[in-house]
């Protein structure tokens, strides 16, 4: 199966909010960006509705739901307000992430093992509404087992440490081995495996040695590249880096 690309369009909204915060309109529009990504081969769109609404706003998610033709992946913290919102919007999938207001981006994986009851309850409510559930976790065997116990359909392996150590060969190898082991364990348990965070055209090719990956969720590097080469070309460039994945 070819590796699917899900584009995270949060950073398009970050740019808009830098100028138009609190206004109902402004550029650049994340929904338009999502449609461009789809038109050149992205198979999913990811948006993170954060509690502090620093980038994506509710109305963006409503419009994404209405206008995109692929899959909407709503990233969210497990809080009552956002859970109710997700149940109303009905994305194809939600990815539950830890959320700390002070962080620049989603810095660590979810402590699935430490929140079995709360995450299982949300997982059930989402599944009952026809929404699949993914858990954003570090490549840690305890968290993979917990994701299985919670009943998630997917895990998304946090590739932040891999990306961070990419230029240090020994550390990079350790991170790759953790990702490989976690992907194999998850696959054996019947979980589907996505990955994301900090990925770019330079570090994606080596990630091909991680087995069982279904989708990569990539945002910052694509939006950054689009400043110089345009969004269509930036998505195409990433699709090229993902080509030939053997599974
Ligand atoms: N996946 C998850 C769960 C994330 O929280 C993020 C960051 O918002 C990404 C993927 C995309 O990371 P990046 O913007 O570094 O590509």
DSSP character string of 104-159:
SS--S---TGGGHHHHHHHHHHHHHTT-EEEEEE-S-HHHHHHHHHHT-SEEEEE-
> 4-242 in CATH: which number?
3.20.20.70
pLDDT at 108: 81
pLDDT band at 103 (very low <50, low <70, confident <90, very high): low
For residue 46, the CA-to-ligand 1 centroid distance in Å is 9
Mean pLDDT over 220-229 rounds to: 98
55 is catalytic: no
Q: Which atom of ligand 1 is nearest to the CA of 8?
A: 11
Q: State the pTM of this model.
A: 0.96
Q: Is 108 left (phi over 0), alpha (psi -120 to 50) or beta?
A: beta
pLDDT at 105: 64
pLDDT at 104: 65
Catalytic residue among 75, 99, 156, 215: 75
Q: Over the stretch 51-79, which tens digit does the pLDDT of each residue have?
A: 989 999 999 999 999 999 999 999 999 99
* Rounded CA separation 47/64 (Å): 9
Ligand 1 pocket check for 97: Cβ under 6 Å: yes
Q: Is the pLDDT of residue 205 over 90?
A: yes
Average pLDDT, the chain: 96
Residue to probe by mutation, ligand 1, list 42, 56, 106, 109, most atoms within 8 Å of CB: 106
212 is catalytic: no
């Amino acid at each position: 199966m070819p590796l699917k690309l899900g584009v995270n369009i949060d950073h398009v909204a970050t740019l808009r909010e830098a100028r138009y915060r609190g206004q109902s309109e402004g550029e650049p529009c994340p929904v338009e960006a999502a449609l461009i990504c789809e038109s050149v081969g992205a198979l999913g769109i990811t948006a993170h509705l954060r509690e502090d609404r620093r980038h994506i706003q509710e109305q963006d998610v409503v419009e994404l739901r209405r206008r995109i033709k692929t899959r909407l992946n709503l990233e969210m913290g497990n809080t009552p307000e956002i859970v109710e919102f997700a149940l109303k919007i009905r994305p194809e999938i939600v990815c539950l992430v830890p959320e700390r207001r002070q962080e620049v981006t989603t810095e660590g994986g979810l402590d699935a093992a430490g929140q079995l009851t709360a995450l299982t309850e949300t997982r059930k409510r989402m599944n009952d509404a026809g929404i699949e559930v993914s858990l954003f976790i570090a490549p840690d065997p305890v968290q993979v087992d917990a994701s299985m116990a919670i009943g998630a359909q997917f895990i998304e392996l946090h590739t932040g440490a891999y990306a961070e150590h990419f230029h240090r060969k020994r550390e990079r190898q350790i991170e790759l081995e953790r990702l490989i082991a976690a992907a194999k364990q998850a696959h054996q348990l019947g979980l589907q495996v996505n990955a994301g965070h900090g990925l770019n055209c330079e570090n994606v090719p080596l990630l091909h040695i991680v087995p069982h990956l279904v989708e990569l969720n990539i945002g910052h590097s694509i939006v950054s590249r689009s400043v110089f080469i345009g969004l269509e070309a930036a998505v195409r460039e990433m699709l090229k880096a993902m080509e030939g994945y053997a599974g």
